[in-house]
Amino acid sequence: MGKTYRQINIDEYINYERFYSKYLKNMKRTGTDKISAQCPFHDDQHPSFWFNINNGCWKCEAGCGSGNAVTFLARVEKISQKEAYKILLKEAGLFEEDKKKGKKMKYTLENYSKEEKLPIEFLTNVCNLKQEDYHKRFVSIYYKDEKGNTAAIRKRHHPQNKKRFS
Ligand SMILES: [Zn+2]
């Protein structure tokens, strides 16, 4: 069964100590899973703020409130929680759109073979198709003249790519 990203616990992928260190001053470990620091939301003379390194939840004991890494980031960067969540997904290396984009644009000899219902050996040996692109974004099709010289090279991209051929 394939896991969807929504079922993944983002906490397992984020180093909250590193994440919070970008925004907090005077960070100090105060327990096995707690770090205290000066609160970024008020003029803090004491380390009134703390967060849990395992789940990213935070609280300001001086009354600024409490929350998780998403609400913290939204508040400190003055962005929406939706935007903050996206940034955290990126931090965790789980940003869905980036992953999908990368996959969508790939176009390999295997794809071509399936699409045209022709075996790969036939495509490479008879039709002069090559997978030259290291990132596998397109397949090169070599057009030869009667003498066997390359007359033209056409690049076939993924069907969903704006540019189908080049
Ligand atoms: Zn505070």
Helix, strand, coil distribution of the chain in percent, nearest 5: 35, 25, 45
Q: What's the chain's average pLDDT? A: 85
Task: Clarify whether residues 28 and 95 are in a common domain.
Answer: yes
Domain end residue (candidates: 57, 77, 100): 100
Other beta carbons within 10 Å of 157: 18
Q: What are the backbone dihedrals phi and psi of residue 89, each rounded to the nearest 5 degrees, phi first?
A: -60, -40
pTM of model > 0.75:
no
pLDDT in tens, 10-52: 888 899 999 999 999 999 999 899 999 999 999 999 999 999 9
In a domain, 165, yes or no: no
Strand-pair partners of 157: 138
Per residue in 83-98, pLDDT (tens digit) is 999 999 988 888 766 5
Provide the 3-class DSSP secondary structure of residue 15.
Answer: coil
**Ligand 1 centroid, distance to 87 Cα (angstroms):** 23
pLDDT of residue 109 exceeding 70, the answer is yes
The tokens of 79 are what? 């962005």
Looking at the fold, whether 84 and 38 belong to one and the same domain comes out as yes
Structure tokens at 49: 């703020």
Q: Is 111 among the domain residues?
A: yes
Cα–ligand 1 centroid distance for 23 (angstroms): 13
Cβ proximity of 58 and 66 under 8 Å: yes
54-90: pLDDT as tens digits: 999 999 999 999 999 999 999 999 999 999 999 999 8
pLDDT for the residue 50: 97
Are 79 and 22 within one domain? yes
In angstroms, the CA 162 to CA 5 distance is 27
166 belongs to a structural domain: no
Residue 96 sits in the same domain as residue 109: no
**Cα of 27 to ligand 1 centre, how many Å?**
14
How many A from CA of 59 to the centre of ligand 1? 8
Neighbouring C-beta atoms of residue 133, cutoff 10 Å = 15
- Look up residue 120 and give its two tokens: 């790969």
Which domain covers residue 129, as residue numbers?
105-157
In what order do the strands lie in the sheet containing 58-60?
25-29, 34-38, 49-52, 58-60, 65-67
**Three-state DSSP class for residue 151:** strand
Q: Higher-confidence residue: 48 or 151?
A: 48
Q: For residue 10, report the distance from its CA to the centre of ligand 1, in Å.
A: 25
Q: What angle do CA 111, 115, 121 make, to 5 degrees?
A: 65
Q: Which two tokens stand for residue 9?
A: 């616990």
